């Protein structure tokens, strides 16, 4: 039976001859795998409605189990900035895989659908993709079965930093209690502060900010350590994002070295 529904395309992969499987997060019925006959032939009418990271209105048949089918599509959002920007695309691809991993197939999940929708809107506005990514990682932690105390020190009621993170005790240590875990992560306290803020506030409060690259890499190290220890996912989109960030870090380093050289030369010349 045909029905009308809204959904966001998570990914698409080839399947026999020219056919394809398209995974779509539907608003009302959760994540579903769709079979699209001949999708990889040129000028297929569903081509632009099956592009990953787009939101569309569809007409099709949704089955409770097994494959579902698409008949028609209509674009709701192409998220153009994401489609055109390699970096934003890499962040979005990782977030999509993360949300997909946390969401059971074939079951409605309004919370995660709204999260994905909201995140794509935010990324499309080109706002602080690293912070948005961290927000999503924090948001999904309980869904992966991990609860980390980010409100106060584990050993006293200290709510003001500086704090460090203890993976062993799953929470924060204030400077008086650093000694309670010799393997504490030794993360820059400002990175912990950012995580506390992201944990406390809704996604809509995230604005474009210029954060120091060293602080961002501390933030990344913190979240990577938490995910490695408690979640243990190996996502291809994450390795790709890591490589991309590494290239940017190196480019930034080179740029700051060049600027320093230029400044030094200028000072030499002024003498």
Shortest distance (Å) from residue 158 CB to Zn ion: 5
CA distances 64 to 67, 183, 225, 234, Å, are 9, 47, 37, 28
Binding residues among 37-66 for Zn ion as defined by CB under 5 A: none
Q: Which residue is nearest to Zn ion (CB)?
A: 153
- Smallest CA-to-CA distance from 7 within 77, 57, 49 is with 57
Structure tokens at 207: 């604005």
| CA–centroid distance for 82 within its chain | 13
Shortest distance (Å) from residue 88 CB to Zn ion: 39
Which of the 8 DSSP states describes residue 35?
A: E
Contact flags string 149-188 toward Zn ion, x per CB under 5 A: ----x-xx-x---------------x-xx-----------
Whichever of 91 and 163 has its CB closer to Zn ion, that residue is 163
Shortest distance (Å) from residue 153 CB to Zn ion: 3
Whichever of 81 and 176 has its CB closer to Zn ion, that residue is 176
Count residues near Zn ion (CB under 5 A): 7
List of residues 6+ apart from 270 with CB closer than 8 A: none
Shortest distance (Å) from residue 161 CB to Zn ion: 11
- Smallest CA-to-CA distance from 213 within 165, 184, 243, 250 is with 250
CA 83, CA 87: separation in Å to the nearest integer?
10
Contact flags string 109-148 toward Zn ion, x per CB under 5 A: ----------------------------------------
Shortest distance (Å) from residue 52 CB to Zn ion: 45
């Amino acid at each position: 039976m045909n029905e009308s529904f809204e959904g966001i395309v998570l990914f698409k992969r080839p399947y026999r001859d020219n056919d394809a499987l398209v995974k779509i997060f539907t608003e009302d019925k959760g994540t579903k795998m769709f079979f699209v006959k001949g999708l990889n032939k040129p000028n297929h009418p569903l081509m632009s409605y099956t592009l990953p990271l787009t939101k569309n209105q569809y007409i099709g048949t949704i089955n409770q189990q097994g494959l579902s089918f698409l008949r028609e599509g209509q674009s709701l959002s192409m998220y153009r900035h994401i489609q055109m920007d390699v970096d934003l695309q890499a962040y979005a691809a990782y977030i999509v895989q993360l949300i997909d991993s946390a969401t059971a197939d074939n079951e409605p999940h309004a919370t995660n659908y709204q999260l994905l929708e909201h995140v794509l809107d935010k990324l499309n506005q080109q706002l602080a993709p690293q912070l948005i990514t961290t927000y999503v990682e924090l948001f999904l932690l309980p869904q992966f079965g991990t609860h980390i105390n980010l409100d106060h020190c584990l050993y006293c009621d200290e709510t003001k930093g500086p704090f460090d993170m203890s993976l062993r005790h799953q929470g924060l240590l204030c400077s008086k209690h650093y000694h309670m875990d010799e393997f504490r992560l030794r993360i820059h306290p400002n990175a912990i502060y950012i995580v506390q803020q992201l944990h406390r506030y809704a996604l809509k409060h995230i604005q474009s900010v210029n954060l120091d690259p060293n602080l961002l890499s501390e933030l990344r190290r913190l979240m990577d350590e938490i995910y490695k220890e408690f979640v243990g996912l190996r996502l291809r989109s994450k390795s790709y994002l890591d490589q991309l960030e590494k290239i940017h870090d190196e480019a930034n380093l080179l740029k700051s070295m060049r600027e320093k050289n230029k400044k030094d030369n200028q000072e030499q010349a002024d003498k």
